[in-house]
Amino acid sequence: MKTFALVLATTTTFATAPALAQEKTDFKVAWSIYVGWMPWGYAADTGIVDKWADKYGITIEVTQFNDYVESMNQFTAGAYDAVTLTNMDGLSIPAAGGVDTTAVIIGDFSDGNDAVILKDESDLAAIAGKDVNLVEFSVSHYLLARALDTVGLTERDLNVVNTADPDMVGAFQTADVTALVTWNPMVSEILDLPDANKVFDSSQIPGEIIDMMVANTEVLEANPDFGKALAGIWYETMDIMTADTPEGAEARAAMGAASGTDQAGFEAQLAATRLFADPADAVAFVDSPDLETTMDRVRTFLFDKGLLGSGAPSADVIGIELADGTVLGDENYVKLRFTDSYMKAAADGAL
């Protein structure tokens, strides 16, 4: 429930420089259930992953996690070479944990998939004084902060209750839970309940909750073919799932079923997602100056929550490098990087 001082240039040339990680042929990718990440499971199930891995003479093992936070923890611990996560979580978990992390693919941004939901109340201001269940310090926490800003409230006006994402739907059906913040597919399930009301969602902060596939920077530097394979997998899957064809409908139905819904339910979630199916659109997004504004806002939120490391003196403690080489924060300690290189290669047909 989120830069690039790498050896990769901003062209489609994948030059390499000395790296600490070694060249290897076997890679592990972790992903968790979310509309924008379902394509990874589909690609693994249908042979698209193996196709692109074979092209580059490597193997890629794709593993689904039911717990999003655990998938990021496993990546941070070095058990996986790449993981799906958001821009904010990329900074607060692996980067803050000292793992140099590169956003290889910008898949989408949430455009309504993340929501604040109240029980038997339709006004966001009614959240004051309530216990609010959410995955603490995740993008749900960030969304809550942004929502509270709009009604003149702060977190001091309520009580946050840390709740794991698999428990959200069940929690809302208990008498004690009257407010929560979560993401799809849980949002859709909860909103089907008669007493649930959406009072704020991510469409009101467009472009701020970004869903990405990131890789360990050192692994990527030593093995650029891994990044190229990931891009190939993603955009071939995008071509299939967005097509107005029987194959496209079948893919969306399969992804819906895998996420606990059906084709119609999955397509409803897609409607609340700004999907970057065209790599040129993803390049334009990552190259936009708006990303710097967003990441500055995100790092400020994380610093205020004490999530940039124990005793961090300011939000500058961790460097975030953007695709043009601009660095927010410490240039000597860059741990989150954005690149347009692999997406640009896909746009140029150079994979």
For the stretch 221-265, pLDDT in tens is 999 999 999 999 999 999 999 999 999 999 999 999 999 999 999
Coil/strand/helix, residue 12: coil
DSSP string, 40-52: HHHHHHTTHHHHH
Coil/strand/helix, residue 165: helix
Band of residue 98 on the pLDDT scale cut at 50, 70, 90 = very high
pLDDT of residue 311: 87
Half-sphere exposure of 16 (CA within 13 A, CB side): 17
Is the pLDDT at 16 greater than 60, yes or no?
Answer: no
pTM (predicted TM-score): 0.88
Give the integer Cα–Cα distance in Å for 74 and 81. 10
Give the integer Cα–Cα distance in Å for 189 and 203. 19
Domain layout of the chain by residue ranges = 26-109+209-347, 114-204
pLDDT of residue 20: 60
Q: Looking at the domain 114-204, which fold is it?
A: D-Maltodextrin-Binding Protein; domain 2 (3.40.190)
Q: What is the mean pLDDT of residues 100-106?
A: 98
pLDDT in tens, 186-218: 999 999 999 999 999 999 999 999 999 999 999
Q: Into which CATH architecture does domain 26-109+209-347 fall?
A: 3-Layer(aba) Sandwich (3.40)
Give the integer Cα–Cα distance in Å for 96 and 55. 34
List Cβ neighbours of 160 (8 Å cut-off, separation of 6 or more).
Answer: 131, 132, 134, 136, 141, 144
- What length does the chain have? 351
Question: Hey, do 26-109+209-347 and 114-204 end up sharing a CATH topology, with the first three levels equal?
Answer: yes
The answer to whether the beta carbons of residues 140 and 114 sit under 8 Å apart is: yes
Coil/strand/helix, residue 321: strand
Give the integer Cα–Cα distance in Å for 73 and 286. 25
pLDDT in tens, 43-75: 999 999 999 999 999 999 999 999 888 999 999
Pairing of strands 59-65, 26-32: parallel
Which position has the token pair 């967003």? 294
Query: Letter for the amino acid at 285?
Result: F
Kindly give the residue spans of alpha helices, DSSP state H, lying in the chain.
38-45, 48-55, 68-76, 87-90, 139-150, 168-172, 186-191, 217-222, 224-241, 246-258, 263-271, 279-287, 290-304, 341-347
pLDDT of residue 69: 87
pLDDT of residue 310: 81
pLDDT in tens, 27-40: 999 999 999 999 99
Is the pLDDT at 312 greater than 70, yes or no?
Answer: yes
Band of residue 309 on the pLDDT scale cut at 50, 70, 90 = confident
Query: Letter for the amino acid at 238?
Result: M
Is the pLDDT at 13 greater than 70, yes or no?
Answer: no
Percent of the chain clearing pLDDT 70 (strictly above): 94
Q: Say what angle helices 279-287 and 290-304 make with each other, to 10 degrees.
A: 60
Q: Report cis status (omega within 30 of 0) of the bond before 185.
A: yes
Give the integer Cα–Cα distance in Å for 220 and 180. 37
pLDDT in tens, 119-151: 999 999 999 999 999 999 889 999 999 999 999
The answer to whether the beta carbons of residues 307 and 144 sit under 8 Å apart is: no
Give the integer Cα–Cα distance in Å for 315 and 318. 7
